[in-house]
Structure 1
Amino acid sequence: QQFCLRWNNHQPNFISVCSSLLHNGTLVDVTLAAEGRQLQAHKIVLSACSSYFQALFTTNPCQHPIVILKDVQYDDLKTMVDFMYYGEVNVSQEQLPHILKTAEMLKIKGLAEMP
């Protein structure tokens, strides 16, 4: 006989813990750079939410890579990272085309057109 053990608050807890780790800079293992500014994140979160990052980290294993994104604006990158950690972001109508372009470039699940 099998029993299903379920943690009803698993998803909200997981999101909360990941965002807290990001906010505190705890266990971060990748640095993203755009427009001369940097932000840190977790490879596992980026890989889970972006096939671009998953392929990058899989084919180029490195303990703490620094990823320089030349054609990405820093504010758009920050918005994409927030989207990957929280599952949603608020953007203005003016930002929307830039955000969607960045999402396509980084192959962000939930925003980019997937093949």
Structure 2
Amino acid sequence: MGADQQFCLRWNNFHSNITTAFESLRDDEDFVDITLACEGRQIKAHKMVLSACSPYFRSLLKDVTFANLTSILDFMYHGEVNVSHNELATFLKTAEALKVRGLAEDEKKKDSEGYNESSSPPISGRAP
């Protein structure tokens, strides 16, 4: 037997063990990292599971930082927000993924040149 010989080790009940482990993680709320709210109630979940099972959640949760989400909420509630130059690209990408009015493209309102008045927010270089 050579030192380069490889062995395949297989977990016989892998699928049933993983399913049981996922159920346990959800039931015990271990390692939850997102809270969803609907009809005035909340559900704790795991971003990884949501993303693996739903392209919608994957798109929604991908690359969303707390700072960007906070800034988007500020924009929604106040109609404006100050974003640093370093955060601007990810902020706008997040706004586009969430289809935030006033920040994201609105396909229905594009004119023949592809310009969208409401989705082109004025960006100024002025400091807050």
Q: Which has the larger radius of gyration?
A: 2
Point out which structure has higher relative CO (alpha carbons under 8 A, 6+ apart). 1
TM-score scaled by structure 2?
0.45
